Structure 1
Amino acid sequence: MNSQGHTLARAVIADDERLMRDQLRARLAQVWPSLEIVAEAKNGLEAIEAVRVHQPDVIFLDIRMPGLTGVEAAKEIAQLDLGDDALLPEMVFITAYDQYALDAFEQGAVDYVLKPAEPERLRVTAERLQKRLIQRAGEGSDREATASSLADSGGSASVQQLLHVLSAQLKGQPVQYLSWLQASVGQSIQMVAVADVLFCVSDDKYTRVQTLKQEFLIRKPIKELVDELDPKVFWQIHRSTLVNVNAIAGIQRDERGRQEVLIKGRADRLAVSRSASQLFRGM
């Protein structure tokens, strides 16, 4: 934070209209003068690359862009391998369509701004972002938690969940999730009930699907599964790991101070990336 009380941060602006990018840049300079705009993008692919290269604290994404939409770009950004200690950027969606100004925006860890970006509304967003960035910077000294504490973190999966809902809305489709997974067992196919899955861990070719008593391998990466499993139940705690919230026995830290998820009835310890540690905020 600088001497004027503003949080120092870096941002990317993604909008296919140059005039809108210019206007947003100018108005951000009014309400958040210490914010550094490190890159601009004209489409979703450029936005993803800008995050990969610059690793900003915040990204402003136009919902409607050619190629990948802002929501599709956000989903790709959420899967970027920026390193275990890197934090994904806070996301703000820019839209001319107020039907996307859902209640979830007001409650969760993403925000929205209607076009044209009015200074007073943008000031509210800037204040929210600064509070989140300060909170993120101060994290890392969480105490050990038990499963009973999970009830207090009810909205933790809100970013993932909101991206699913928005993506379905943009496509005009209902939000649907898998109830069964198909796993190859020898020469046969076995149906695995999603409700029985404790966690999923991916490597380069396969995803290990673990139930209480059995392990299955499927040819589907976490990147696809995260779109197909209910984000209220399955949290992505690492770029390669999804865990069933109902299977979490507790959270503890390893010898390096990094969070690990403990699984009920098993000895597994699942690493939590720094970016995903906010899922257990306040625990």
Structure 2
Amino acid sequence: MNTPTALIIEDEALPRQRLRDGLAQLWPQLQVLADAEDGDHGLALALDLRPDIVFVDIRLPGLDGLSLARRLKGLAHIVFVTAYDAHAVQAFEHGAIDYLLKPLAEARLRETVQRLQQRLQWPPAQLAQWLQQWAPPTLAPAGMPPPPAAPLRWLQASQGERLHLVMAADVTHFRSDNKYTCAVTAEGEFLLRLSLRDLLAQLDPGQFWQIHRAVVVNLAHVARVERRLTGMEVLLKGSDARLPVSQSFQSRFKPM
């Protein structure tokens, strides 16, 4: 059998390098021909290099991963890389599609490698029907505004080397941590690989309020709001934590 080849299409440098390193360790015979940081460049490379396998992130600048898979039309085995919530993961499982969750877990990558090694004996699966059934929620008919996406109910978060599914309702507040976000719950703190700004756009605006440039609070966990000489603070139920409210967000609490 010829040396198997692959292409990685991922816009974030750290997940891209981790995938490369993981594949090199678990499948040293696999030759990664190239990688791309956006969908348009990735599609051009895939059509030019004709790899056996394409690892593609769903959310990409330009052409998204699902649209890219449609364009390839069965030319390669596809593995979607996703940081989507549990609803999307469930859709992948029902469609028997290979997928990897970010942050990458070695055990999950090992399973995918083993499946791919067997699937290379057959032509790539035709994904057209599955892709038509599961379209990204942002797509809408021409001339029509996209329907609003449902707020996130589950969050994929890491704690050390372990991946967890955390209910958004259980999060007392979110705290910005550079490009990532810390989700604080009664069970501890979890790291989300999303900026606070990107996360806020996916949360229920009636339940989660931004009170500081680096803090978003879950109103269901707010015990009271206090005005002090140093400014306004939010106190949480069953916690000694005091969350500062920036001047620009204090007007939200005046009617309360």
**TM-score, normalising length: structure 1:** 0.45
Q: Choose between structure 1 and 2: higher strand proportion.
A: 2
Which has the bigger relative contact order, CA under 8 A and spacing at least 6?
1
Q: Which structure would you say has the larger Rg?
A: 2
